[in-house]
């Protein structure tokens, strides 16, 4: 039976809590009736308030508590309902959790998992919409995971919880209602392995999180026009699966990197730079990237009509790289819903 991305997160948390008594789960709203968009729903009833609990609104204190608990043998899972809120805890995260293994001779890490929810649109303004994965990926000692499918949401979350170093787990809220098959039981996916979603020889498209969904629409649309692309879902930003990306670029000779974050200093820019620096001879054309513009997202939908990277932009970029005319009008015509939501089915979470 198909399971939603949000239910898969809850399944992963329940599986971890059942597998190891040292796993605890907390954060603002963790035990409330909505359970952080359904991802922690009723877990406090199943595992008790000593292991699943709410916390006062103090992000730095929550993170410090998690670090202390981890250093005393626990495996904390801390949830922030927006990435933007977690920025108040960067001192604890960057100066303590991330550096611990390095500062103490590699003898031990800080096994905490910090869930942060990202995503744009639907009136989410500058303080509720940022995708700052490149910030966290820049910090040595932090691992950064961005699942796309429901299956990966569960298996990568389990991989993160039982990893011995701090992991930032980024969930795009446009994915929370999307469904897919999810394996039962304690199935842990190792961090740092990308997935090849579609295979082709025209262009390598590298994506992550919700950008993979838009890329999938574009790649299937291009395939109907005789253009077959490799589509790689990174799943993990740090460590990044460079061998899979490099192997694909050596096959296609072209690279289009997508990013749900801003253009300047983003993950897409790092991918383009690494390929251009180390594998220039493999390229048939200049590598390209698509990302959010370098301005905050406005709250008003009227001001965001050209803000989001959608499938037609990806298809058009592939066409330009190949020097071919690509039809995108029918892609746009299929969209009968507002420009700032993923589909007619989307009704939140807010």
Q: Please give the C-alpha separations between residue 220 and each of 223, 331, 338, in angstroms, as whole numbers.
A: 5, 11, 22
The CA dihedral of 189, 194, 196, 200, to the nearest 10 degrees, is -170
Task: Name residues of the chain where pLDDT drops below 50.
Answer: none
Which residues are CB-neighbours of 306 under 8 A, at least 6 positions away?
none
Write out the H or E segment, with its range, that includes residue 113. Answer: strand 113-118
Instruction: Please say whether the beta carbons of 28 and 80 come within 8 A.
Output: yes
Q: Please give the C-alpha separations between residue 71 and each of 65, 105, 112, 143, 164, in angstroms, as whole numbers.
A: 10, 15, 10, 18, 11
Amino acid 349: pLDDT: 59
Which residues are CB-neighbours of 298 under 8 A, at least 6 positions away?
125, 126, 304, 307
Q: What is the pTM of this model?
A: 0.96
List pLDDT tens digits, range 125-146. Answer: 888 889 999 999 999 999 999 9
C-alpha 24/C-alpha 47 separation (Å) is: 9
Report the relative pairing of strands 230-233 and 195-198 from DSSP bridges.
Answer: antiparallel
Tokens at residue 196, please? 């090849």
Amino acid 127: pLDDT: 84
DSSP string, 117-161: EE---TT--TTS----HHHHHTSTT-EEE---SHHHHHHHHHHHH
List pLDDT tens digits, range 294-313. Answer: 999 888 888 888 889 999 99
C-alpha 195/C-alpha 348 separation (Å) is: 28
Q: Which residues are catalytic?
A: 59, 128
Amino acid 32: pLDDT: 92
């Amino acid at each position: 039976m198909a399971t939603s991305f949000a239910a898969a997160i809850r399944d992963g948390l329940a599986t971890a809590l059942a597998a190891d008594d040292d796993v605890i789960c907390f954060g603002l709203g963790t035990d409330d009736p909505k359970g952080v968009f359904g991802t922690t729903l009723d877990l406090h009833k199943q595992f008790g308030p000593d292991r699943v609990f709410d916390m006062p609104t103090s992000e730095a204190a929550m993170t410090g508590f998690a670090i202390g608990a981890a250093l005393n043998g626990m495996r904390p899972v801390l949830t922030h309902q927006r990435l933007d809120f977690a920025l108040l805890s960067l001192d604890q995260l960057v100066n303590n959790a991330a550096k611990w293994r390095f500062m103490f001779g590699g003898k031990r890490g800080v096994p905490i998992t910090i869930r942060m929810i990202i995503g744009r649109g639907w009136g989410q303004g500058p303080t509720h919409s940022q995708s700052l994965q490149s910030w966290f990926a820049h910090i040595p000692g932090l691992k950064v995971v961005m699942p796309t499918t429901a299956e990966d949401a569960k298996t990568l979350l389990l991989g993160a919880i039982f990893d011995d170093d701090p992991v930032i787990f980024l969930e795009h809220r446009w994915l929370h209602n999307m469904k897919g098959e999810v394996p039962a039981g304690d199935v842990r996916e190792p961090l740092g392995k990308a997935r090849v979603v579609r295979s082709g020889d025209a262009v390598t498209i590298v994506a992550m999180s919700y950008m993979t969904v838009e890329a999938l629409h574009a790649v299937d649309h291009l395939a109907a026009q005789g253009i077959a692309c490799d589509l790689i879902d990174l799943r993990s930003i740090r460590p990044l699966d460079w061998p899979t990306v490099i192997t694909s670029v050596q096959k296609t000779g072209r690279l289009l990197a997508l990013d749900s974050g801003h253009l300047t200093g983003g993950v897409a820019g790092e991918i383009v730079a690494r390929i251009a620096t180390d594998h220039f001879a493999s390229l048939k054309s200049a590598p390209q990237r698509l990302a959010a513009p370098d301005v905050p997202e406005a709250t008003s939908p009227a001001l965001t009509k050209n803000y989001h990277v959608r499938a037609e932009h990806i298809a058009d970029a592939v066409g330009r790289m190949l020097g071919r005319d690509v039809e995108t009008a029918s892609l746009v015509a299929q969209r009968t819903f507002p420009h700032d939501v993923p589909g007619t089915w989307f009704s939140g979470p807010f």
